A and B are shown apart, each in its own frame.
Chain A
């Protein structure tokens, strides 16, 4: 298997799907001649031409809505958001149109479109360029929301998203683009809606997704040295949530910690807690804990920025707390 960067894996998925199906096209800011703001679309303009790799003006609402309209009549657009921060301007088209078209038309229409781009905090970018927004989109029926952590999942899930007949919102890790991992060649499709046990363990389940997975892995390694066995469940898809996988893991370990980059209020993690407490309460040996970003706007100052985000020490502390090993 080839070792690819996360961005290369995405590029491969796009390229393969565009070769497979001429209905697929890519539109977004700087996706063509500039080769992609984060180089996800590198080389695609040469390969597919400007008829299918389309440089859009900086008009997020406009080109997002244009993509939705094209999907309504059978094309399969991939709309690249330079970052999800800018997509807030396009939210009306994603939420009020793409997510609702099938319902409002009574099942006459489908909207096979992917909205994708980098999400997540960090990089000293302050408040407007540094936020994890996935729970916002997970709120809306009619959308699927995905956030792969590894290059292999990034490729497989983007391929599945492009083939899906529903609007899919894909959060890529802005800070993961250069991360390397083994990626299967060719037809590698990861079904949407399926979580993945990334690390087997027996004492506690840590539930997470996207970049936070790596902090969880770091914490799990340190905890292993202390004799604590951590299972890591990577949700991968945030809508629909894989309830079965969540409950199976919690029933095995009887304890859970949820690690979420975004803000705590109305976060995806809150819904996961609800699933666990309402369906597996009797099997819990401790209250479920959450490690989330702090409930504040992101700061530029390095120390403040670090303090706001979850990290391995915070996860370790939460795991010890649910194991009643605080200060042990």
Chain B
């Protein structure tokens, strides 16, 4: 049977996963060299999730994440050198080195940040989705969070509102099985996190987060559902981080055997094997991609190395918006690339506020009339 996926899709996903992996391996190395400091949480092992999600949504959909946030913007197309420069604390970083590892923001690519408080981004995502609905846009918001965030109040408070108001938001719980050093099952009455969506009458499902294609299919379907106005979706991507919680964590709380077993499930060779088996690509295709990515990552490190430290005057900028102040366009500032896709929001006059937050019975009636249920 012919594959349902195009060669282009498979190679694009492979390229992105390989970039995430190599980029973060270099990140760990640079941390060891003392060029990166602070907390630094690697995504290694989880790449299938970001790759699958990103190809299944639109480039103008909003996205935000937790503190494990280097790889997701890479999948979106953010500049690897600028992310590395941010990790180095240099002017060339997306946030001029003021945010660091846990706070990558690339608004041009609609990546609205990584957040360092567990679960703290979950309500923000609902607010961004609220804004889309307020403006009658068909854009969705994708919010990544970890398994541990599901035990935060922010999760429950937000899910209640998001489901009640049918907000266009896709919540992706990347369940890598550990909240820092604690196995999620040890501290969760319901460790299958997607099931908690049932408590809020919310569509919920689990997906193999080690398989980029399965993630891609599931997210395609969920995104169409959300865009049709049917409400939010909670998707649990079951995945595994091959490294510790952060680069300084030796992860002694799990057995060697467990990690070895999971590594056999590495999403990157898995995608390659599929493509070759389906005769959609040859080994030479992958070799070419790998060589290009290696060069890209070398360049990213060089770019970060050469970028200067921020001037001390920067301390007094970017806290309060001064009157008439223009917002920063990082790629223009750093690379001199003209950014014409910078988000602009409709003025009050252009808004068509038509949605209603009436009781669910009414919302359901409207759904039926529109053939949505």
- Residues A66 and B158 in contact, CB atoms below 8 Å apart: yes
B131 within 8 A of A: yes
- Residues B123 and A106 in contact, CB atoms below 8 Å apart: no
**For residue B317, which residues in chain A have a CB less than 8 angstroms away from its CB?**
107
**For residue A270, which residues in chain B have a CB less than 8 angstroms away from its CB?**
none
**For residue A51, which residues in chain B have a CB less than 8 angstroms away from its CB?**
134, 353-357
- Encode A106-144 as 1/0 by CB contact (under 8 A) with B: 111110000000000000000000000000000001101
- Residues A108 and B95 in contact, CB atoms below 8 Å apart: yes
Assembled-state Cα–Cα distance A220/B105 (Å): 53
One of A52-60, A174-182, A244-252, A308-316 at the interface: A52-60
Which residue of B157, B318, B349 contacts A62 across the interface (Cβ within 8 Å)? B157
Nearest CB on B from A310, distance (A): 31
Interface of B is mostly: loop
- Residues A97 and B321 in contact, CB atoms below 8 Å apart: no
**For residue B328, which residues in chain A have a CB less than 8 angstroms away from its CB?**
106-108
A74 within 8 A of B: yes
Assembled-state Cα–Cα distance A63/B161 (Å): 8
A41 within 8 A of B: no
Nearest CB on B from A175, distance (A): 30
| Total interface residues in chain A, CB < 8 Å | 50
Nearest CB on A from B163, distance (A): 11
- Encode B296-336 as 1/0 by CB contact (under 8 A) with A: 00000000000000000000011111000001111000000
B179 within 8 A of A: no
Assembled-state Cα–Cα distance A52/B94 (Å): 34
Query: What total count of A-B pairs have CB within 8 Å?
Result: 183
- Residues B356 and A142 in contact, CB atoms below 8 Å apart: no
**For residue A96, which residues in chain B have a CB less than 8 angstroms away from its CB?**
115-117, 120
CB closest chain-A residue, reference B117: A96
- Residues B124 and A69 in contact, CB atoms below 8 Å apart: yes
Nearest CB on B from A328, distance (A): 46
Assembled-state Cα–Cα distance A12/B94 (Å): 41
Assembled-state Cα–Cα distance A106/B83 (Å): 13
Nearest CB on A from B272, distance (A): 36
Which residue of B105, B113, B124, B357 contacts A54 across the interface (Cβ within 8 Å)? B357
Query: Which A50-93 residues have C-beta < 8 A from chain B?
Result: 50-52, 54-57, 59, 61-75, 77, 92-93
Give the interface of B toward A (CB within 8 A). Answer: 62, 93-99, 103, 105-107, 112-113, 115-117, 120, 122-132, 134, 153-154, 157-158, 160-161, 164, 317-321, 327-330, 343, 345-349, 351, 353-358
A-B contacts, 26 listed (Cβ < 8 Å): A22-B348, A49-B356, A50-B357, A51-B356, A52-B353, A61-B154, A65-B154, A66-B130, A68-B124, A69-B123, A69-B126, A69-B129, A70-B131, A71-B127, A73-B62, A73-B127, A74-B346, A92-B120, A93-B120, A96-B115, A105-B105, A106-B105, A107-B318, A110-B327, A142-B320, A165-B321
